[in-house]
Amino acid sequence: MSFEELFDASYERVLQTPPEVPDFFEGFYRRFLMSSPEVRALFRNTDMAVQRSMLKKSFFSLVAFYASGNVDDVLHRIACLHSARHLSIKPYLYDLWLDCLTDTVRAYDQECSDDIELAWRLVLSPGITYMKFGYDHF
């Protein structure tokens, strides 16, 4: 299987959670918020239901950027919003974000392996690099 196929299959699995388990994106945010006081401070006054909805939309943009090599309007707007001129989300926080996301994948995907974690990292890294670049440029 290619890394893209590994990612796609894993993504399908993480979305299939039993009703008594928080959905994947909620599980991710719980983990991300616990990862750092700085992260908790950034989300202090945030409606997390709205935030999860926004993450789902932006997540598709990250995947689309990997697949197409083209930045869509959603990803560009988010990169601008997160730049130093606006929300000032520091670039190193994206590494923490990705680490928390792959930790969440390991918790939600019973078939997760090193190759699957690498697949997630490879698929999301181009978009994350774009976001980091945007910090000083947008």
Beta carbons within 10 angstroms of residue 116's beta carbon: 22
Beta carbons within 10 angstroms of residue 53's beta carbon: 12
Residue 49 has what pLDDT? 92
Residues in the chain: 138
Alpha-carbon 97 to chain mean position: 6
Residue 53 has what pLDDT? 92
**Per-residue pLDDT tens over the stretch 48-94:** 999 999 999 899 999 999 999 999 999 999 999 999 999 999 999 99
**Cα-Cα end-to-end distance for the chain:** 37
SS3 assignment for 33-72: HHCCHHHHHHCCCCCHHHHHHHHHHHHHHHHHHHHHCCCC
pTM of the model: 0.94
* Amino acid occupying residue 24: F
> Which CATH topology does 3-137 take?
Globin-like (1.10.490)
* Collapsed DSSP state (helix, strand, coil) of residue 8: helix
